[in-house]
């Protein structure tokens, strides 16, 4: 598949009086009749994959939010609702052997990669059948089987780890790469700049992705950074750096595919700024007083699931009845994950002493 030049696929970011950066809608083509007949750039199978994958992320997260309110899920919980295209589009652009790492908003990534929803939900419950044996919870999801390396609670802590994973891939001459996600708040960490410097110096096969949803917790990018076009931070290291419309899986796929081509060719890393939006708060405890309801609704009008659904129906890739069956399938999957988690056991207290050190008889002091 031909890769669209990066400069042609990105939306423009402007700043509004609300102090929040937003993505402008694309201007309609001059010849609307011709534009309406234009064929989509991706196949029927790709669009249906995106729809089902993003719907699973959405329904899973909605259920997680509901369960958190019922105190079935405790501790921190950061939902991915609204940002689904940032993962779905990247999955179709990479291979199953590539490595993934992200921050603590990490439920959706493994689901898109193929992790069983039962194992993810059980981890949120803190059950022994969870993907991290109930020891990690919401912020520490790992799945070696799909090359997902977490799930990290320290802001920016995963960025040098992502560079390290890429170093291992280059050292072992695997031809694989690492895609490393972070929030917009992480770019103010020193580790971000250190990792970008070494990745560029050593031409590591890593794609750094800033999921810029506009707010570091409850503080807007404009209030915390002199540089508001975050992708330009990579230019200090002569790293190819681009903004991407993170509300569209098509744009995400194209940008990641081009960055992957560069990484596999031995030309080194790329920094991508996915301009996206979360419909819910930073975490479940966020009252969201820093933004207006009108702002949220403006982004919901660009919802990635709805736009993909519209493309599917418009191009007759599937009927509404077909999509309804997918919806029913996803709802059933999510409900099954809840049932599985409810019926699973909590870990034995002694499990707190395992998976810590390789030395199995480490002299713990236990009162």
Tally of CB atoms within 10 A around 84? 28
> Which pLDDT does position 358 carry in this prediction?
77
Rounded to whole angstroms, the Cα distance separating 272 from 251 reads 11
User: Across residues 163-172, what is the average pLDDT?
Assistant: 98
287 burial (CB, 10 Å; 0-12 / 13-18 / 19+) is exposed
In a domain, 8, yes or no: no
For 18, half-sphere exposure in the C-beta direction (CA atoms, 13 angstrom radius) is 16
Q: How many domains does the chain have?
A: 1
Rounded to whole angstroms, the Cα distance separating 50 from 64 reads 21
Rounded to whole angstroms, the Cα distance separating 296 from 266 reads 41
Give the CA distances from residue 37 to residues 5, 34, 50, 223, in Å, rounded to whole numbers and listed in that order.
22, 5, 22, 43
In a domain, 13, yes or no: no
- Helix 320-343 and helix 304-314, axial crossing angle in degrees, nearest 10: 140
Q: Does the pLDDT value for residue 286 go beyond 80?
A: no
Q: Does the pLDDT value for residue 225 go beyond 90?
A: no
- Per-residue pLDDT tens digits for 236-276: 999 999 999 999 999 999 999 999 999 999 999 999 999 99
pLDDT confidence band for 133 (50 / 70 / 90): very high
Where residue 18 falls (left for φ over 0; alpha for ψ -120 to 50; beta otherwise) is alpha
Q: Does the pLDDT value for residue 359 go beyond 60?
A: yes
Q: Does the pLDDT value for residue 143 go beyond 80?
A: yes
For residue 227, the domain's CATH number is 3.40.50.970
In a domain, 240, yes or no: yes
User: Across residues 297-319, what is the average pLDDT?
Assistant: 92
> Which pLDDT does position 31 carry in this prediction?
39
In a domain, 109, yes or no: no
pLDDT confidence band for 222 (50 / 70 / 90): confident
Q: Does the pLDDT value for residue 357 go beyond 80?
A: no
Q: For residue 247, what are the domain limits?
A: 50-103+147-340
Rounded to whole angstroms, the Cα distance separating 258 from 275 reads 18
- Per-residue pLDDT tens digits for 322-354: 999 999 999 999 999 999 999 999 999 989 888
pLDDT confidence band for 192 (50 / 70 / 90): very high
Task: Tell how strand 99-101 and strand 178-183 pair up.
Answer: parallel
Which of the two residues, 26 and 122, has the higher pLDDT score?
122
- Per-residue pLDDT tens digits for 3-57: 333 333 323 222 232 333 333 333 333 333 333 456 778 999 999 999 999 999 9
Alpha-carbon torsion (129, 130, 132, 133), positive or negative? negative
- Tell me which long-range contacts 303-306 makes (C-beta under 8 A, separation of at least 24): 303/82, 303/247, 304/54, 304/82, 304/84, 304/85, 304/88, 304/247, 304/248, 304/249, 305/51, 305/54, 305/55, 305/58, 305/84
Q: Are 20 and 81 in contact (CB under 8 A)?
A: no
> Which pLDDT does position 20 carry in this prediction?
38
| Residue whose C-alpha is closest to residue 96's, from 174, 158, 44 | 174
Tally of CB atoms within 10 A around 57? 27
Which of the two residues, 76 and 122, has the higher pLDDT score?
122
pLDDT confidence band for 278 (50 / 70 / 90): confident
pLDDT confidence band for 168 (50 / 70 / 90): very high
Query: What is the overall mean pLDDT for the chain?
Result: 85
Residues whose CB is less than 8 angstroms from the CB of residue 317 and which lie 6 or more positions away in sequence, other chains included: 44, 47, 48, 311
pLDDT confidence band for 196 (50 / 70 / 90): very high
- Per-residue pLDDT tens digits for 52-94: 999 999 999 999 988 988 889 888 888 888 899 999 999 999 9
In a domain, 41, yes or no: no
Q: Does the pLDDT value for residue 282 go beyond 70?
A: no
> Which pLDDT does position 283 carry in this prediction?
63
Q: Which residue is associated with the tokens 């291979």?
A: 95
> Which pLDDT does position 14 carry in this prediction?
28
The mean-pLDDT minimum among 104-108, 158-162, 361-365 falls in 361-365
Token digits for 43? Answer: 């196949």
- For every residue of 94-154, DSSP letters joined together read S-TTSEEE--S--SHHHHHHT--HHHHHHHHHT-TTSTTTTSSGGG---BGGGTB-----S
In a domain, 19, yes or no: no
> Which pLDDT does position 287 carry in this prediction?
58
In a domain, 319, yes or no: yes
In a domain, 54, yes or no: yes
């Amino acid at each position: 598949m031909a890769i669209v030049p990066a400069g042609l696929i990105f939306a423009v970011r402007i700043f509004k009086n609300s102090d929040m950066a937003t993505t402008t809608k694309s201007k309609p083509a001059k010849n609307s009749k011709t534009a309406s007949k234009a064929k989509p750039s991706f196949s029927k199978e790709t669009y249906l994959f995106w729809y089902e994958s993003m719907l699973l992320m959405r329904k899973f997260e909605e259920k997680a939010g509901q369960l958190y309110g019922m105190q079935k899920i405790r501790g921190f919980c950061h939902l991915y609702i609204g940002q689904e295209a940032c993962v779905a589009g990247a999955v179709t652009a990479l291979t199953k052997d590539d490595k993934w790492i992200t921050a603590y908003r990490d439920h959706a990534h493994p689901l898109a990669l193929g992790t069983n929803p039962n194992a993810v939900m059980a981890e949120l419950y803190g059950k022994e059948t969870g993907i991290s044996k109930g020891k990690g919870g919401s912020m520490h999801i790992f799945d070696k089987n799909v090359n997902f390396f977490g799930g990290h609670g320290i802001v920016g802590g995963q960025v040098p780890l992502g560079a390290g994973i890429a170093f291992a891939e280059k050292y072992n001459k695997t031809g694989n790469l690492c895609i490393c996600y972070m929030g917009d708040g992480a770019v103010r960490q020193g580790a971000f700049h250190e990792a970008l410097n070494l990745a560029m110096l050593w031409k590591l096969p890593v794609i750094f992705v800033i999921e810029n949803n506009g707010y570091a917790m409850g503080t807007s990018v404009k209030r915390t950074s002199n540089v508001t076009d975050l992708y330009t931070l990579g230019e200090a290291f002569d790293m190819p750096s681009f903004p991407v419309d993170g509300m569209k899986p098509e744009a995400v796929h194209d940008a990641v595919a081009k960055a992957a081509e560069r990484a596999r060719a031995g030309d080194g890393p790329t920094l991508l700024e996915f301009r996206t939006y979360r419909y819910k708060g930073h975490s479940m405890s966020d009252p969201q007083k820093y933004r207006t309801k009108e702002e949220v609704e403006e982004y919901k009008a660009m919802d990635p699931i709805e736009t993909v659904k519209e493309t599917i129906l418009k191009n007759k890739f599937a009927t509404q009845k077909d999509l309804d069956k997918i919806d029913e399938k996803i709802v059933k999957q999510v409900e099954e994950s809840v049932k599985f988690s409810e019926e699973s056991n909590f870990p034995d207290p002694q499990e707190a002493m395992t998976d810590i050190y390789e030395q199995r008889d480490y002299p713990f002091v236990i009162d």
